[in-house]
Amino acid sequence: MKSLMKIENLHAEVGGKEILKGINLNIAPGQVHAIMGPNGSGKSTLSNVLAGRDDYVVTKGSVSFMGENLLEMAPEERAAAGIFLAFQYPLEIPGVATMTFLKTAINAQRKTRGEDELSTPAFMRFVREKSALLGVKDEMLKRPLNVGFSGGEKKRNEILQMALLEPAFCILDETDSGLDIDALKVVSEGVNALRDKERSMLVITHYQRLLDYIVPDFVHVLSNGRVVRSGGKDLALELEKSGYAEYGADAA
């Protein structure tokens, strides 16, 4: 099978504590994999490790992305190579207009890839198009990044960034939490619009409902730092009924 990202026996520590205890995942181009699992099982840790957060230490295992060793790359290099993480808790940057942030990010990535900067008119057109799709208002783009945004607005803004950066690999960490029913639909449509033969996604969620909209190719259950079960989209339905009790035995 052709692979976009291959995670093998990945172990990682945070603050001296082992959180990921041997993860294996193979994600082919175009596939959507959902990850579910109890609180504290290591889902966000996995996304942070893949995005390259400094204080998350990989102690064993490997991750290859488009045939390259992902673990050797700095976070910004991974971003430029096409890794995008929609944060569970997006950060605020006071005084920096959302629009300015978006432009800085796009151009930083283009620079790293050796491409020309986007001209201001071209950038504006691009932002207008994508923000209309996600129902993000102009007024919000002028406000400082995430400052005073509601929980749902922050999540929407994450997906807007994803749409603009057009990454090869999207990690969505509980993007559905905090979204009202209508917003969930809009955001899911935004995500689905980005699905194509090449682009893969890792969708972390607690709720089957999101997977009704963003239908995954595979569902994995993460418990205590390991993938304890994998299946098709029906696995999510089963989990919704039975919960994680049967995987709890593994918990520390």
Residues that bind ligand ATP (CB under 6 A): 14-15, 17, 19, 37, 39-45, 88
Task: Pick one of other proteins, ligand ATP, Mg ion, none as the site partner of residue 82 (Cβ within 5 to 8 A by kind).
Answer: none
Does 105 sit near other proteins (CB under 8 A)? Answer: yes
**How far apart, in whole angstroms, are the C-alpha atoms of residue 158 and residue 201?**
14
- Tell the residue number behind the tokens 């905090």, with chain if given: 178
In the complex with ligand ATP, the residue whose CB is nearer, 9 or 104, is: 9
Angle at 167 between CA 161 and CA 168, to 5 degrees: 160
Of 43-51, 94-102, 205-213, 243-251, the window that binds Mg ion (rule: CB under 5 A) is 43-51
Does 41 sit near Mg ion (CB under 5 A)? Answer: no
Does 109 sit near other proteins (CB under 8 A)? Answer: yes
CB of 125 to other proteins, least distance (A): 20
In the complex with ligand ATP, the residue whose CB is nearer, 57 or 118, is: 57
**How far apart, in whole angstroms, are the C-alpha atoms of residue 236 and residue 164?**
30
CB of 42 to ligand ATP, least distance (A): 4
Task: Pick one of Mg ion, ligand ATP, other proteins, none as the site partner of residue 196 (Cβ within 5 to 8 A by kind).
Answer: none
Amino acid code (one letter) for 1 = M
Does 84 sit near other proteins (CB under 8 A)? Answer: yes
CB of 86 to other proteins, least distance (A): 10
CB of 132 to Mg ion, least distance (A): 30
Does 44 sit near Mg ion (CB under 5 A)? Answer: yes
Does 54 sit near other proteins (CB under 8 A)? Answer: yes
**How far apart, in whole angstroms, are the C-alpha atoms of residue 200 and residue 5?**
9
CB of 45 to other proteins, least distance (A): 13
Binding site for other proteins (CB under 8 A): 51-55, 74-76, 78-80, 83-85, 87, 90-96, 101, 104-106, 108-109, 112, 144, 161, 165
Binding site for Mg ion (CB under 5 A): 43-44, 88
